[in-house]
Amino acid sequence: MTTVVPTSEEDPALSVVRFTAEMSWAEAGPEVAEPQVTSLCMEAQECMIAGRWLDLASLMITSADLVFSKASEKDLECIFTVICNLVKKPESLDESLEISKLISTKIAQQPNEKPSLRLKILFNLYNMLENPYGRFLVYMKALEVAANGKDQRQLFLAISNILKEHKSSTKENLKFLTTYLATFSGDDAHDINEAKEEAAYTIIEFVKAPDMFQCDLLEMPAVAQLEKDSKYALVFELLKIFLVKRLDAYLDFYTTNSELLKSYGLVHEDCISKMRLMTIVDLASNESGQIPYSLIKNSLQIEEDEVESWVVKAIAAKLIDCKIDQMNQVIRVSRYSESVFGVSQWEALRTKLTTWRGNVANVITTIQANKVAEEGTQTMQGLMIR
């Protein structure tokens, strides 16, 4: 996050008002400019003394907007850091929210002008806010800028970099990185190379994340290219292990690539824990609704008395729904989450839906036939009584 460091006795807010005013009136000449600059500075001082922070924010954002196309990005970042810092001034939460709304709305008005900088300003403001509602408002404005920008691919990457810089949620960062990677197709032979580092970084972050168990990275061309890449082929293999293989495959990989994993900051014990949960999911998808304790024990390489605790962990992570049958030493699975949801999973879902549709149609036909038969029987009984 950008930090304002005062370099003079003048308040940073007043310095910004003076700087933007001087730049705005520079072409008018000193005779016209000086009175205007003095007037704006006096107005700003009055707002500060009276604690009218919303009025001060309005004054500063208007002045800053006039120089947005003239000032350098470095100057603009400093200017808006000072302006955003005003959200911390009011004692009233409502006034703080109004200031954040004013700033974020103004920033989002022209998304195609310096979009990356606008996103950086918005996420800077986002991190200054503590109120969830205020954060939500600013976050939505950031999405507006991203959605309306000309080069959405670079904007998604810019958002990810900003989130990374501010050490924000890993899930949020990976969401934008994944969206960025999804913009590449197999036909982008020239451009796709630029995504290699981001693809590898995304894989490593997914593996590190203790609460992420599903992703669609495997079939993305930007990620698939790593399979034959001399530098990142092993990273791609690691992704395949975590998504479609079991613990034993990871342990074999670790035996020959332990230094590689350490170089990426991966902790072996954490990887084992995550792989055990992924292995339970894989067992649930490959067995006919029942998983014997013994199979879980052997696949997870744990003691028999640890089986139920690992199953409970999988349930808590919402990876499976099941009943633990202690009497028969089996787990009866009613639902499991797919680690990968690609073409084959969609085809399987279509088959299930087609079967379900057929079954429903048969039930409806049977009900209708029974209704016709019942009505016919009632008619016959009525005629017999007459």
Cα–Cα distances in angstroms (integers) from residue 235 to residues 44, 199, 218, 338, in the given order: 55, 10, 12, 21
Per-residue pLDDT of the chain in tens (386 residues, 90 and over written 9): 444 444 456 788 888 888 888 888 877 777 787 888 888 889 999 999 999 999 999 988 887 877 787 888 888 889 999 999 999 999 888 999 999 999 999 888 887 788 878 888 888 898 888 888 888 888 888 888 877 755 677 778 877 887 777 676 788 888 889 988 988 887 766 678 888 999 999 999 999 999 999 888 988 999 999 999 999 999 999 999 999 999 999 999 999 999 999 999 999 999 999 999 999 999 998 767 899 999 999 999 999 999 999 999 999 999 999 999 999 999 999 999 887 655 555 565 577 677 778 788 788 888 887 777 776 676 666 656 65
Cα gap 301→267, rounded to integer Å: 18
Cα–Cα distances in angstroms (integers) from residue 242 to residues 45, 119, 236, 277, in the given order: 59, 33, 10, 10
Provide the whole-model pTM.
0.62
